[in-house]
Chains A and B, each alone.
Chain A
Amino acid sequence: MKKAIQDTGLFLVLNAVFVVLLVLFAMNRNLTNEMLAIFFPMLIVTSGALLYTGYYDGDMLTAMSAALLLEIGQMTQVLIFGEGGLPLKSKVLLLAAPLVGAIGVWLISWLETKDFSNAAVGQTYLLISTGMLAFVLLVLLVFGKEKNGTKAWIEAGGFSIQPTEFLKPLYVLFHAVLWSSCRNRQKSFLLSAGLTVMVAMLLLLINELGTLLVILLLWIILHFIFSDKPVYSVTALLGTVTAVLSGYGILSFIHSRVVRLSEMGEEINGALFRLNTIYRKLHDRIMIVFDEEQLFSNADYRNGDGYQFYKAREMILKGGLFGSMSSTHVPVEDSDYAFVGLILRCGVVFAIVVLVLFFVIFYRTVMKSVHIDNPFKSVMMTGASLSLILPTFINVMGTTNFSFMTGICIPFLSNGGTSMLLTTFYIMLLLWGTCDRRPDLNGRFVRNHAKPKIQPEDVPFTR
């Protein structure tokens, strides 16, 4: 306990310096009150998380990185929204997120106690996780509200949630249960492939290509890490690449047919129109990566379909290495383009520091998960860690034209309510997972890493 208090105290001292710098920064922009109003409750939450992590011998570096990212994320939002401040809904979510995260972690810790090696238990939970995945997707298909061509939202009572965000933890949960229960590798691979195809098809139907990309990458990386036979990871990789290329080829064929029909004066409606829209969206987003100069030299593109890309480009240049006071804006700056908003105001150097903090969380937690002898928990931790780092890289690379844009939010920085809830859940899950000793469901202390049963040849991980 003493060490936990020392670590937390040290962090808070460092953090106080950081907050003073932020406040000075905010004073230049007349945002001091808003910034302080956000940071005061947030310091209480992060201190609590640090004390918990330190008390149970968790990874303090992960906790500190997460706390800093949380603060930077809120600072970014304050800077983007300006003097008007964050919307009330965002503030409510910020306070509700730890509660939701705690419930999620409690559920996972409850599942951890299950004996998945028992065939009946394993099958039951496999069915439950598959059912939940299918339920989320079917609800979206039926009740989903279309926004920007994607049916990923459900609106009720003035609130809108993005259920596709829940697919990632459910997908990871399925694999955690599968690899804990099924000893037949071929069967488990086929089950995993079958589920991935089902999820992919349903995501295609609602045109949610960003989440589809994350799911496919999760599939490939999880198989690479947890399949001891290369044949399965290679099959997963080649299968995905082939499916993606074939899908693009089919869309390209449909597009050429639509062009021919249009030339003949025919109107394009229904499925053809929808598929052609998907193709055009994809094509434009890929072309902007390869042919930015030519596309930007075209004023029609620059001010039309390519407006967001161009504005993002402007903002990055304007921000330069150390940020600027410019009031340039890009549409959806608070969500998809939050990273670009951060670059504009704080510069590229600071943005790279933010990416390093993300990487620290990933590295520390994924390496810790290696030494956990409970396969369910190990897969859950790796999956949660990947669920944080993959959207981060996909978002930052897309919004800066390093790769194509997907419309995925960046954890911590984006003002997505559902994304914020899930990010808090991932972080709490990862901190819980890194704890060397922790109370079990009966309140007794157990140790995670006392004996590394997974890799006897390795030196056990110690703090």
Chain B
Amino acid sequence: MKSVCTSVKDRTLVVVSGFVALLVVFSCYLVYYSASFYGINETGDEVKENLARTEQRMATIEGCITDSNDDRITYAEKPNQPAACMHLSYGQLIGYNSLTYGKYGLRRTFEKELFTGDKDHHGATLKLTTVNRLQDAAYEEIKGTEGCVVILENATGRILALATACPGLEFDVNHVGKTVKAFDSSGYDGAWIQNWSKKLAPGSTMKPVTATLVYDENRSEEVYDDTGSEKIGGYVFHNAGGAVNGRITLKKAVVKSCNTYFSHMADEIGSFKLQERAEAFYIGKELELDFCTIRSEHNLTHSTTEEIAAAGIGQGKLLLTPMNMALIAQTIANGGAVKKPYLIDSIYTPQGFLYQGKTEVLGRACAEETAAYVADAMREAAVSYGIDKNLGIHAKTGTAQVNGTHRASFISFNDSYTVCIVENHTSKAGRNLAPKAVRLYKVLESL
């Protein structure tokens, strides 16, 4: 050890010098980083501007959020006091805006409006297109599951309910600390994802889109002999439950949700037209809404024949959000016109409107006649799911199997409304969601 320590002092001095250098460099950096005047560093300037906004926010009473009937969803009485939420069914949608726990949901997106005070230090009121009673009912249908409900008004695109839930967790925005801790420690991967923008394998809810294309290709009456399997490329497609449907045309294929028929048609029609039609339904394209951007995945470029056929039946690389699925149903209901869903009815202060939402037609996905044909097929499908024909509901289900669990989806519409329900990681099939949808249509009728 003696020889080891011969030059210990020199080496120690080297280490000490290293720390001196580090201390000097770090101190200079700290002074630069904390520069409290503008123009020293750009990030600092931006942060300072945000700080000024935070100061203003702390002197402001958070603006109210209301539903379309002006019933309050959140309400605050004092500055720097979080607004109380009266309907926890809106939890994931409205989120929170906390100095300690950060920002989330609408209270993050519309922070500027909700927290910028007028002369009375009141933030603006955010009026949503939703209806509280319907929202609460929608949330009750999926509570305790990894589920989502999207309800749209066909004629306008107004979002009447937008509920999302997590298994075993309640998004209680009145107790943010508790909620954040519970979500963070739940170990549940999707806890912080609002399910309406969660990309999932859609399964057969994609078939109506493929069906519009088959119809436009004048192949709706073409008879296909379903033997229960269809080999495309190196992959054999089967029907759910091993069903064999025999000789069928397009309408029966929709009703029976025939995988072999749609994979065969998708393969024959080809990737270019399939992708073009999907994009007309805003699948694989960014859908910028007034409160978030919806992104789905549908890119058939460089795809194999198996992948193209799989996309035709809602499998393979195709990933859709529940909002996309709702839009498919709404487009069919509107005779092929794609109406942009919107959630913000208006933002206003006592001095006037800051923003007013309006109906916007994004384009036409298919001809009216095509949509009517597919709607008719979906009407028959709804009856096959056990829905009373007199209710006038058109529907299509989807069940994707991933790692032993199901992703069940149910898209439907009647003359006035579109209802889409999705449950992920469930043992249910899509058709098991039909009773939930029927209950929601009944609430819609009673509004």
- Which residues of A line the B interface, CB within 8 A? 148, 179-180, 183, 185, 221, 224-228, 263-267, 269, 273, 292-293, 296-297, 299, 303-304, 307, 310, 313-314, 316-321, 327-329, 331, 343, 347-348, 351-352, 355-356, 359, 362-363, 366-367, 369-370, 375, 378, 382, 389, 393, 396-397, 400-402, 453-455, 458
Contact = CB atoms under 8 A, between A and B. Distances in A.
A234 to B, nearest CB: 13
B31 A226 contact: no
B34 A348 contact: yes
Nearest to A320: B36
Interface of B: 1-9, 11-12, 14-16, 19-20, 22-23, 26-27, 29-31, 33-36, 42-44, 46-48, 50-51, 54, 58, 99-104, 108, 184, 189, 192, 201, 297, 316-317, 319, 402-403
Contact of B4 (A185, A292, A367, A401): A185
Contacts of B297: 263
The 9 closest A-B pairs by CB, nearest first: A320-B36, A375-B1, A307-B102, A454-B5, A348-B34, A370-B9, A228-B4, A303-B103, A267-B403
Nearest to B37: A320
Given A225-B12, A366-B12, A389 B2 contact: no
Given A183-B1, A370-B12, 12 more contacts: A228-B6, A228-B7, A264-B317, A266-B402, A310-B47, A313-B44, A318-B51, A351-B30, A366-B16, A375-B1, A454-B2, A454-B6
A30 to B, nearest CB: 17
Given A296-B46, A328-B54, A454 B402 contact: no
Nearest to B4: A228
Contact of A355 (B2, B4, B23, B43): B23
Given A221-B15, A293-B43, A454-B5, A355 B26 contact: yes
A321 B43 contact: no
Contact of A455 (B6, B30, B46, B316): B6
B6 A321 contact: no
B167 to A, nearest CB: 15
B5 A378 contact: yes
Contact of A458 (B4, B9, B29, B101): B9
A355 B31 contact: no
A320 B31 CA distance: 8
A229 to B, nearest CB: 9
Contacts of B7: 228, 455
B199 to A, nearest CB: 9
Nearest to B48: A317
B5 A313 contact: no
Contacts of A356: 23
A267 B146 CA distance: 15
Contacts of A313: 43-44, 47
Contacts of A367: 12, 16
Contact of B19 (A320, A359, A455): A359
A356 to B, nearest CB: 7
A317 B9 CA distance: 40
A262 to B, nearest CB: 10
B8 A225 contact: yes
A303 B12 contact: no
Given A303-B108, A362-B19, A317 B5 contact: no
A397 B8 contact: no
A180 B34 CA distance: 46
B340 to A, nearest CB: 22
A227 B19 contact: no
B293 to A, nearest CB: 10
Contacts of B36: 317, 320-321
Nearest to B1: A375
A296 B43 contact: yes
A436 B48 CA distance: 52
19 contacts: A180-B1, A225-B15, A226-B4, A267-B402, A292-B43, A297-B46, A299-B108, A316-B30, A317-B47, A328-B99, A329-B100, A348-B34, A359-B23, A362-B16, A393-B26, A397-B26, A400-B30, A402-B33, A458-B9
Nearest to B13: A367
Contacts of B103: 303
A402 B5 contact: no
B102 A455 contact: no
A400 B26 CA distance: 10
Nearest to B32: A348
